Structure 1
Amino acid sequence: MPSPRKISRRFACVLAMSLTVIILILPAQLFEYSTYFPNITPKASQSSLPENNLSQIKYVPKLTNAQKIIDKEKEMEDITPISEKVTKASNVQKIINYDDQTEETVSSNSVKKVIILAYMRSGSSMTGKLLEQSDNSIYFFEPLRPLQWSYSRKIPLIDFNNKTRKIVSKGGNGERRTKLFEDLLSCKFRSTYKDIFLDRGHASDHRFLPFYKCVGKKIHKVDECLHIIQNVCDTSRLRIAKVIRLRAFEVVNILKKIPDIKVIHLLRDPRAIINSLKQIRFRFDAKERANFVCNLMRRNIITFEKTFELYPKQTATLFFESLAKNPMGVTKKLFDFIGVPRTDTVMKWITKNMLANISSGGPFSVYNRNSLVVSNKWRQQLKFKDVESIDSQCYDLYNVSGYFDVMNPENMKDPNIVHFRDDAPFIKSNLVDRIEEIENGEH
């Protein structure tokens, strides 16, 4: 019979082996699940700021200091390119239809590429959905989100050579972010990351649904199913990316790398943005939230206007309030700027989803709504004391935009008193002012 000492040694040995297995295997399993199913990662604490947080950038109290911030932000950019080889684009793309194996040629000059630079709860999903109604379009919903998941959760991304790549920091990925837009909008999917296509936000475009049905949630099936959306992209004449994680100082580099792109800066009343955040149960502190939102918007406006001076034909600012007030007229301007026709399909979608008699659906819905009613909900839903707190933090933003502060509760509730003008003199890139006057009463 073994001695007690031998028994204790055997027990210690078994225990040590068990702990080794747990230490080596369990993290691998967690890594696997968090990579393939990023939505199961525990949510951030209620005290965290929204996903488009740039907390490392300090508050700038004076407009004259804005250029210093812009220069400092540019210095943060990492200019090291990704090492993947990218095939040189030809003037004519050869497109294969994987359903019947027929071929079609599309001139690259006829393809329109658009980025919507927006803010969380700024009406960007509705604007992206509106553009998607154009014939032969493809809509990429928040393509930078997997990159943010990667650097915030320390999860490497997987490229199409099945190599993992670490996304190190928020401030050091400017070239990588620009290249992602360049590849997606040129349909060079295999130069990106497989994780990009597991983000089901893209299902906002119904043409992605067959791909997601094919791929399930398995990253190894992306290769097998990619041809489905590859064919959709290759045959598209309008390619749209909507992003709330992009900053205006990055736009110049994007315009240099993608010279045929158009960038639209979407603005919305910060009181409406904060009210919408409140409706989706974000931790609500009106003053704190306004400080973040308004300073970010002001910095972006100042930088975007400088970019507009260099690229006036490729950049434009769109106020959500202008679009909500006259959807048909402003949509015509928007489509004219992009260079695509405003078809009957687009106008029917506007009539059904922006000019409805009642607003239905939850806070994430873009269907069966009245956009003008939606744009003014903050006036009924916010308390006046919260609006006062927001206005106190947004004074500098109001100076460079078309928004006014609210003087008293009566003015706030009175529908005849407006708190926005879409002819803000500082914003020369304003889409409404630039092309032609909005058709009066066109609905």
Structure 2
Amino acid sequence: MKHPVTIARLVIGVFVCLTVVFVVKYVGCNPAQYLKLNLDTSTGPSGEEPRPVSKSADHKPETQGPMSALPQHTENNSSNSDPEVKVILLTYMRSGSTLTGEVFNKHPRVFFFYEPLWTVDFSFIRAKEPAFFFHRDIMKHDPKDKTQVRLLKTNIISSILHCDFKHMYTQPLTDPLAYLKSRTLQPFKQCKDSHPGLQGLYGCLPVLRQACTSAKVIAMKVVRLPMELAATFLKADPKVKVIHLVRDPRAVLNSRRPSGISALYPQTARQFCDYVAKDLKDSIPLKQQFPGRVLTVRYEDLAQRPLAFSSRLLTFARLDMPPAMTDYVINMTSSNDVRITEKTFETYRRNASLTAASWRRTVQFDFVQDVDRSCGELYSLAGYLPLDSQSRLRNMNEPYFEDYRQAPIKLWDD
């Protein structure tokens, strides 16, 4: 009979060997793969913890046992049902973009993705969480590397435009806000909820790809994307179109204050207006280089005539306005109930025209003066008018923007 110490050593040796095999097979001997990735930390279908995917390009999650019920990936990512048009709604936080995005989100032939770049700023930059990919190395945040953020944003936008979610930075696929705001992500969410964990997330990607490739139009609402970067997608894919949505900076900056976003005026006003003005100027040569593919719009025009300009947005994307969409736009924007118009991040604006100008009733005049002095170039480009007295500010019949046909930059007419 073997000595108890010998048996114990034998058991320990076997355990160590099995551990080494597990690490080599599933983790690729890369300790960084064990980092907490802030994905779904619940257990998988069979009770196992989420397992990081190997960085090997040939690796695929297990599909035996409980995972076999998941949709399976194929090696060929090409599709004969590539959407006809791919729309990037480029805009800024608190610019009326939620209402504008809903015009696409509610259309039955559109695959809509809500703010996929959100997690770059809030997870990767601010929270310092590493960026995780299924088939690539983890990317850790390096504040000295000026290319990381651009690469991540390019990866996300390109992946959605090509319905290629296998190679996409994964955090946008786990963002609860995207599920809440994107109608076409609901089947993917239901699949993911039924199969939690990293393997479940990967296994449900065919559901997302099917929703994407079967749509006539891909549309996404993005903030934090400069026009100069959007130009790369216009050059790379003839199906890509850009809608550039702007709003009166007095409304934007005033709207940001109740949400807890700190601001130092007039410095913040100048920075914001210079950023938007640069995007507008960058769009001018793009309209010449890509005729019919770049459209500049003002939220005030959409709010003033929601049905006409919603139809114009859909026409730009080569979509019709079905009767149900007509009723939806009317119900969403034309009610006399204005009690909820001041809710922060409210989606349904019960009188879009009143909401667009509601800032004039409460904003302080010295704030308006600061913005007027800081944003002259943006005003001249987009057709906004200064309000140089308290009486003019409060007089709702006093215009604060020019007719879109009179603005120096082409608005609504591509």
Could you list the per-position Cα deviations for residues 78-134 of structure 1 after superposition, in whole angstroms to 9, with x for gaps in the alignment? xxxxx989xxxxxxxxxxx969xxxxx985465221001101100111111111222
1:132 maps to which residue?
A: 105
2:36 maps to which residue?
A: 32
Could you list the per-position Cα deviations for residues 259-316 of structure 1 after superposition, in whole angstroms to 9, with x for gaps in the alignment? 2111011000001101210232322444233122111111111111122121121101
Displacement of 1:411 in angstroms is 0.7
| Aligned with residue 196 of structure 1, among 172, 176, 197 | 172
Matched, 1:364 2:345: yes
Contact 1:251 1:307 survives alignment (8 Å)? no
Displacement of 1:164 in angstroms is 1.6
Letter in 1 for 2:206: H
Contact 2:86 2:217 survives alignment (8 Å)? yes
1:283 maps to which residue?
A: 262
Contact 1:267 1:318 survives alignment (8 Å)? yes
Could you list the per-position Cα deviations for residues 217-274 of structure 1 after superposition, in whole angstroms to 9, with x for gaps in the alignment? 7444211322332221121112111111100111221111122111011000001101
Instruction: Within 5 Å, give how 1:256-275 maps onto structure 2.
Output: 256-275=235-254
1:157 maps to which residue?
A: 131
CA distance in 2, matches of 1:344, 1:155: 45
2:363 maps to which residue?
A: 382
CA distance in 2, matches of 1:307, 1:418: 30
| Aligned with residue 338 of structure 1, among 309, 317, 329 | 317
What TM-score, normalized to structure 2? 0.76
2:385 maps to which residue?
A: 404
Instruction: Report the 3-state secondary structure (helix = DSSP H, G, I; strand = E; otherwise coil) of the residue aligned with 2:266.
Output: helix
1:308 maps to which residue?
A: 287
| Cα separation, partners in 2 of 1:407 and 1:368, compared to 1, 3 Å | closer
Moved more, 201-210 or 258-267: 201-210
1:55 maps to which residue?
A: none
Contact 1:272 1:376 survives alignment (8 Å)? yes
2:67 maps to which residue?
A: none
Displacement of 1:144 in angstroms is 1.7
Instruction: Report the 3-state secondary structure (helix = DSSP H, G, I; strand = E; otherwise coil) of the residue aligned with 1:228.
Output: helix
Contact 1:159 1:192 survives alignment (8 Å)? yes
Moved more, 209-218 or 400-409: 209-218
What TM-score, normalized to structure 1? 0.71
Unpaired runs of 5+ in structure 2?
A: 1-31, 42-55, 59-69, 73-77
CA distance in 1, matches of 2:365, 2:359: 10
CA distance in 2, matches of 1:404, 1:213: 48
Letter in 2 for 1:172: T
Letter in 2 for 1:393: S
Contact 1:400 1:424 survives alignment (8 Å)? no
Could you list the per-position Cα deviations for residues 1-31 of structure 1 after superposition, in whole angstroms to 9, with x for gaps in the alignment? xxxxxxxxxxxxxxxxxxxxxxxxxxx9995
| Cα separation, partners in 2 of 1:30 and 1:378, compared to 1, 3 Å | farther
Displacement of 1:159 in angstroms is 1.4
Displacement of 1:167 in angstroms is 5.2
Instruction: Report the 3-state secondary structure (helix = DSSP H, G, I; strand = E; otherwise coil) of the residue aligned with 1:138.
Output: strand
CA distance in 2, matches of 1:296, 1:223: 37
Displacement of 1:161 in angstroms is 2.7
Displacement of 1:201 in angstroms is 2.1
Displacement of 1:416 in angstroms is 1.4
Moved more, 370-379 or 211-220: 211-220
Contact 2:112 2:183 survives alignment (8 Å)? no
Could you list the per-position Cα deviations for residues 151-191 of structure 1 after superposition, in whole angstroms to 9, with x for gaps in the alignment? 44332222123742345457414455334322212211112
CA distance in 1, matches of 2:165, 2:188: 14
Contact 1:360 1:367 survives alignment (8 Å)? no
Instruction: Within 5 Å, give how 1:240-255 maps onto structure 2.
Output: 240-255=219-234
| Cα separation, partners in 2 of 1:290 and 1:31, compared to 1, 3 Å | farther
1:419 maps to which residue?
A: 400
2:47 maps to which residue?
A: none
| Cα separation, partners in 2 of 1:208 and 1:109, compared to 1, 3 Å | closer
CA distance in 2, matches of 1:209, 1:154: 29
Matched, 1:209 2:186: yes
CA distance in 2, matches of 1:163, 1:246: 24
1:187 maps to which residue?
A: 163
Contact 2:172 2:178 survives alignment (8 Å)? no
Contact 1:124 1:242 survives alignment (8 Å)? yes
Could you list the per-position Cα deviations for residues 375-396 of structure 1 after superposition, in whole angstroms to 9, with x for gaps in the alignment? 0011012011111111111122
Contact 1:117 1:264 survives alignment (8 Å)? yes
Percent identity over the alignment is 25
| Cα separation, partners in 2 of 1:412 and 1:242, compared to 1, 3 Å | same
2:299 maps to which residue?
A: 320
Moved more, 232-241 or 139-148: 139-148
Displacement of 1:143 in angstroms is 1.3
Contact 1:194 1:219 survives alignment (8 Å)? no
CA distance in 1, matches of 2:120, 2:169: 10
CA distance in 1, matches of 2:34, 2:264: 34
Letter in 2 for 1:369: R
Unpaired runs of 5+ in structure 1?
A: 1-27, 38-82, 86-96, 100-104, 435-443
Contact 2:112 2:184 survives alignment (8 Å)? no
Matched, 1:147 2:120: yes
Equivalent pairs counted in the alignment come to 345
| Aligned with residue 229 of structure 1, among 192, 196, 208 | 208
